Structures are given as structure tokens and as C-alpha cells.
Chain A
Amino acid sequence: MGLLSRKDSKLILDPLADDNPITIQVLGICSALAITAQLKASIVMAVSVLFVLGIGNVVISLIRNIIPSKIRIIVQLTVVAALVIIVDQVLKAFSYQLSKELGAFIGLIITNCIIMGRFEAFALGNGPWRSFLDGIGNALGYGVILIIVGFFRELLGSGTLLGFKVLGDPIAKTGLYSIGYENNGFMLLAPMALIVVGVIIWVQRTRNKALIED
């Protein structure tokens, strides 16, 4: 990474693994459970959060010295809400079909605790460039987990990936279904997302013992 100093690239790379917002910081679990029944929804949510967190972190960082500390949470919430509404409106005007498919997900970004968490923990104390990198890094870390969870839930729950029937047709009994394989409908329900996230955390901590707390 010639473009970024080592300290800066750490801001992007750390949240991808050893400081992951979902598996280590335990932020943004709610949306990780809610929207990962399909891979496509996971990808879109990841991209939307990338946009909102990237820009939001910069905005908060730019005004960090003039925000009154008593109402800083309200100010942060207003910034997120405004950004999300703009995303929503622009999508409705220029990509109506996509905005229909996303439905409530866009609005749900406001409630994503990663965003408020990064505003509060990072953007309030750092400059715009570093805040931008931190925002991008954390959104990517969040997105990676979302996509992994979405991949397994859609594959095992519906036998599809991005809507394509990768395991054959469950009704016509082709592919894997011809030898008696069945979709696990339980994978589509929120509790299984928690279990998948749990498995990811387990794998991650097994590989890096330093992450295990006493």
C-alpha cells in the first residue's frame, strides 16, 4: 500500500480481521441477523453502509470541534438520518427498481450501531482523512461478515445463490435434491444467523489465540 502510510492502512485492514466490528466489537449484530437470509440483500446492505459510514465519519470529523458535547449523540443521529434519507431519495428517483428491492433495508441503516459506534469512538477524535479510512475499513469488515453469513444462509436455506439454483431444483428433484437432499428452512430464520456468526467467531478465535479474553 504505497498510497497509505502503515498507520493509515492499519485503519482499513484491522476491522477486516482482528478488530472486526461484528465478531470482535460486537456492533451491528441486529442487522447482521435481520437481512442475511439472502446473499443479494447482504451485499446491498454492505455497500449502503460503506457509503453512509464513509461520508458520515468525514462529516462528523469535520464538525467535531463545534459539536456541543451535551447533544453530540443527537447531532450524530441527525447526520446519519439525513444521509440515509438522501440515499433513499436518490435511489427512488434514479434506480427505482433497486430501491423497491431494498425496501426497508435502507431505513434500517440508521439503526446500525456500527455507524454511531464509529462516530462516537473515532470520528469525534480524529481528522477527516483518518476518519474516512476508519469508516471504510469498518464498513468493509461489517460487509465481509454479512456476505459470509448471507452466503451460507441462502445456500443451505434456499439452495440458491443470488437467486440462481446452484444445488438443483427442489421441486423437480434435480441435482443434489435427486439423492434426497433437503433445504434447511431453519437457516432462513434469524436464530441461525446468530449461530453462523458464532461459528465465524469460533473459527477466528481458534486461529488467533490473542483474541481470546480471560
Chain B
Amino acid sequence: MENRTDKNSYTILFAIGMVLVVGALLAFVASSLKPNIAENKRIEKQQNILYAMGVNENEEGSANFISTDKVADAFTKYITKQLVITNETKAEENKEAYLIDVKKEQSKAKSGEERRLPLFIGEKEGKTFYIAPIRGKGLWDAVWAYVAMDENMIVQGAYFDHQGETAGLGANIKERFFMDDFIGEHLLDASGNFVGINISKSNADPLNKDKTDNEVDAIAGATITGDGVAAMLRSDLKLYVPYFKTLKN
């Protein structure tokens, strides 16, 4: 006798029912958690920006953000201006510039539209930081960063992050030993041309004492992630060069 569950009609009905039940369940979970997730992402952006300018709770060797309950106050305290740069040098203030999605702006630029460049200006202990959000490609997925610079485009701090780089290898770009290497590095060469910062496997400066060589030491086993980070720094920070030039005039 044929089993009831072997019938084609039963199979199809079961499949439809399963899709409806699972779909409804996941839709319910996703939509009920959506506000929490969006809020977490918003807080994280503020934490990233503050981290880059040195407002963080770093302990020896580990990278820690400022805690979530303090972030809103700290953000209004330290970030004095949020700019949106268009047309290379035209800067306008925009209180929600930090919510601009760099990924969307990049695809806008690809389709010929104008890309808006957010830039955050922070003040801490009398020093001014210019923090730019940038985004690029690693080995498996996106990598992005917040880079704090002074008016000479010398890096003052950086926060790197990634979507899915290999744990223990490429994922180490968000470790202190890598991020801290960027502090003090020059993005311009001696004559003031933009060259970016290379992630070098062959530099003779693993302790990173030479800050003007436009190079930091690479992570072993993470060549493609490193190349992606270098390419991101080159292509995205270059767009800010005209604005930085106006600062000096």
C-alpha cells in the first residue's frame, strides 16, 4: 500500500505549508527585531567615528569602543561639525551626515551621479581631527574604515572593520596591532602629492618607526585583505584631497 506521505499532492501541499509557516515565522522575527538592529547599527557608527579620533576604552592590546550608554553624549561633545562634501570642495553642514551610506554613494558614483562625501570634524584636547568613512573590498566581502586625519592628511587614528574576512588572518585588520600602525603615517608624499598607504609585505620597517614611507607592515596570510585595505585607502581618501587643500589656503 502506498504511504500517504508519498503522494505528489501531499508533497506539494506540505511544501507550500512549510514555506508559509517558515516564511511567516522569519518575517515576524525579522520585523520585530528590526528597530533594535537599526539602533545598534546607528550606535556602532558613532562608536566607530569616535574610536578613530581616539575616544575609546582601549585596554592594553584590545580595541574597545566607548560604551553604548556614553556614546550619544560623547558624540555631541567631541564631534563639532558634520560635513557633506560635494563637487570636490563644496562643504555643507549636515547633522545626519554620519548616517550617509558610503556603499550607496559609491554605487551612485559608478552610475554617473554625484557622490556625497561625509567628513566629521572632531575636537579633542585642542586638536582637530578630520574623520572620513571609506569602504572597499577584502578577500571575501566588504571592508570599511573610519580614518581620522589632521589637516596635513597625517593619520591620527583608524578603525577598520570587515564583513567576513578569514578569522585569525584577514580578520586581524580590526586588531590593535594592525590599526595602531597607521597612527602617524603620512598619506601624502614629501612633495605633497597623494599616494595613500601601502600594506607592504616587504617593508624593512616591521616596528613601523618610519612614518613617512607611506607603508605599514602587512599581516602574514592576509595578502588579499591587505591589498584591499590599501586600495580602499588610495581610492576613497583621494577624493578628500581637494577639500584638504582648501583648508590650507
Contact = CB atoms under 8 A, between A and B. Distances in A.
Chains A and B bind each other: yes
Interface of A: 35, 37-38, 41, 65-71, 74-75, 78, 82, 85-86, 89-90, 92-94, 96, 100, 103-105, 154, 157-158, 163, 165, 171, 185, 188-189
B37 A71 contact: no
Given A75-B18, A82-B25, A93-B40, A37 B6 contact: no
Contacts of B168: 37-38, 41, 154, 157-158, 188
A71 B11 contact: yes
Residue in A69, A163, A188 whose Cβ sees the most chain B Cβ within 10 Å: A188
A178 B15 CA distance: 64
B221 A188 contact: yes
Contact of B36 (A86, A94, A163): A94
Nearest to A37: B168
Interface in B191-219: 207
A180 to B, nearest CB: 18
A68 B33 contact: no
Given A86-B25, A93-B33, A158-B168, 14 more contacts: A37-B168, A70-B6, A70-B11, A78-B18, A92-B36, A96-B37, A96-B41, A96-B44, A103-B164, A103-B167, A105-B167, A163-B62, A171-B207, A185-B221
Interface of B: 3, 5-7, 10-11, 14-15, 18-19, 22, 25-26, 29-30, 33, 36-37, 40-41, 44, 61-62, 140-141, 161-164, 166-169, 171, 207, 220-221
A69 B22 contact: no
A103 B174 CA distance: 13
B15 A89 contact: no
A171 B208 CA distance: 12
Contact of A89 (B3, B37, B167): B37
Given A38-B167, A38-B168, A68-B10, A92 B5 contact: no
B141 to A, nearest CB: 8
Contacts of B30: 89
B220 A185 contact: yes
Contacts of A93: 33, 36-37, 40
B167 A35 contact: yes
B213 to A, nearest CB: 19
25 contacts: A37-B167, A38-B167, A41-B167, A41-B168, A65-B5, A66-B5, A68-B14, A69-B5, A71-B14, A74-B15, A75-B14, A78-B19, A86-B29, A89-B30, A89-B33, A90-B29, A92-B33, A94-B36, A100-B44, A100-B161, A103-B167, A103-B171, A163-B61, A188-B168, A188-B169
Contacts of A104: 140-141, 163-164
Contacts of B15: 68, 71, 74
Q: List the 10 shortest-distance A-B pairs measured between CB atoms, nearest first.
A: A37-B168, A93-B36, A93-B33, A96-B40, A104-B164, A68-B11, A68-B5, A92-B37, A82-B22, A41-B167
B189 to A, nearest CB: 28
